[in-house]
Amino acid sequence: MKICVLVKQVPDKNDEIKLDQNHKSVDKNNFNFVTNESDNYAVEEALLIKEKLGGEVTVCTYGSESSIQVVKDALSKGADRGIFIENDQNLDYDILNISKIFKSAFKDENFDLILSGLQSDDIGNGQLGVLIAEHLQMSHGSLVMETETSDNTKIKVKRELENGWFQWSELDLPASLTIQSGINKPRYASLRGIMMMKKKPIQTIKLSELETNAQSIDNLKAMYIPQKTKETVKVEGTPDEIAEKLHNILKNDLGLL
């Protein structure tokens, strides 16, 4: 089974978001970068499938120079090789154009399975896995909670629907799956894994050298911090004082005690 996992480097969820002067980009200087949460689950699922059926796990990311770290982290956990598509253009692309970049980079790879986290924690389009499925003429399953594999022609996936509903689907391979967090327990890299990572191949593809007709974003008007629409009572003080004030609100304002 030839498996590819798409991973993305994103800021930590607790990082503060500051805008650049032009209000059209985000100041990335103080970010603590991590692997996107649901992508960690996708990496784990790929490794589990490989351990069952054999084959190879390729890990791939697209991004600026620092992004190569998320490829290294997945290699340390057990992926076999890396592809780093470096955005050396200093331009931003929307998700449709990013999907064309992957399409172009993958045209000779013939992956049986492409796994990705269902949504990135920064931009959050939640589309890439399905866009790539269409570009590469693959079947797809989104919001996957469980996989069942038996051979190299089909895969069964349990998908999450809304309001507590689930559904099993049988997909012909090749297939692209977007993985929901919680599907497994992602492993940590071992010391041995980190040592072995250093010998694993990472192919760097520069965006400027890739044949793609991708167009950068030209319609962003503004970025801004959302306005609050609600009046909020701020409860402040020491923990003791806060507890007393909350007790008062619960009892007197809301009549709940």
Partner 1 sequence: MKILVFIQVDDNKINKMSLETLRCAQIISNEVSAVTFDESAANELTTYNLNEVIFAKNSSLSNYNPLYFANAFEKIIDSSFNAILFAHTYETRDWVPRLSARLDYPFISDCVDLKNDNGSLIATRQTYQGKLNNDFEIKSNVFCSIQSGSFKSDDLESGSCSLNTIDVAFDDVENTIRAEEKFKEQKGGVDLTAADLIVSVGRGIAKEENIPMAEELTALLNAEMGSSRPIVDYGWLPHDRQIGSSGQVVSPKLYFSLGVSGAIQHQVGMKGSDKIMAINKDENAPIFEISDYSVVGDLLEIVPKLIERIKEN
Please state whether beta strands 81-86 and 56-63 pair in parallel, antiparallel, or not at all (unpaired): parallel
Helix or strand run (H / E) with residue 77: helix 68-77
232 binds partner 1 (CB under 8 A): yes
Contact 113, 3 (CB under 8 A): yes
Interface with partner 1 includes 99 (CB under 8 A)?
Answer: yes
Residue positions counted in the chain: 257
195 vs 235, which CB is nearer to partner 1? Answer: 235
Which residues touch 219 (CB under 8 Å, ≥6 apart)? none
Closer residue to partner 1 in complex, CB, 2/158: 158
Beta carbons of 33 and 9 less than 8 angstroms apart: yes
Nearer to partner 1, 191 or 254 (CB): 254
CB of 198 to partner 1, least distance (A): 31
C-alpha to C-alpha distance for 160 and 42, rounded to whole angstroms: 15
Considering only 20, 52, 107, 243, the residue that binds partner 1 (CB under 8 A) is 243
Contact between 224 and partner 1 by CB under 8 A: the answer reads: yes
* Residues contacting residue 197 through CB under 8 Å, at least 6 positions apart: 72, 75, 76, 189
Nearer residue to partner 1 within complex by CB, 101 or 197: 101
Q: Which of 51, 172, 206, 252 binds partner 1 (CB under 8 A)?
A: 172
Q: How far apart are CA 120 and CA 5, in angstroms?
A: 14
Binding mask 54-83 for partner 1 (x = CB under 8 A): ------------------------------
**Closest approach of partner 1 to the CB of residue 219, in Å:** 5
Give the interface segment with partner 1, choosing from 65-73, 78-86, 168-176, 191-199 (CB under 8 A): 168-176
Q: Which residues, numbered 128-167, are part of the site for partner 1 (CB under 8 A)?
A: 128, 130-135, 139-143, 160-167
Residue 26 vs 53, nearer CB to partner 1: 26
Q: Which of 48, 53, 68, 96 binds partner 1 (CB under 8 A)?
A: 96
3-state secondary structure of 246: helix
Number of amino acids touching partner 1 (CB under 8 A): 77
Q: What is the dihedral of CA 87, 36, 60, 105, to 10 degrees?
A: -50
Question: Which tokens in the block code for residue 153?
Answer: 């022609």
Q: Does position 12 bind partner 1 by CB under 8 A?
A: no
Choice between 75 and 175, CB closer to partner 1: 175
Structure tokens at 148: 């069942």
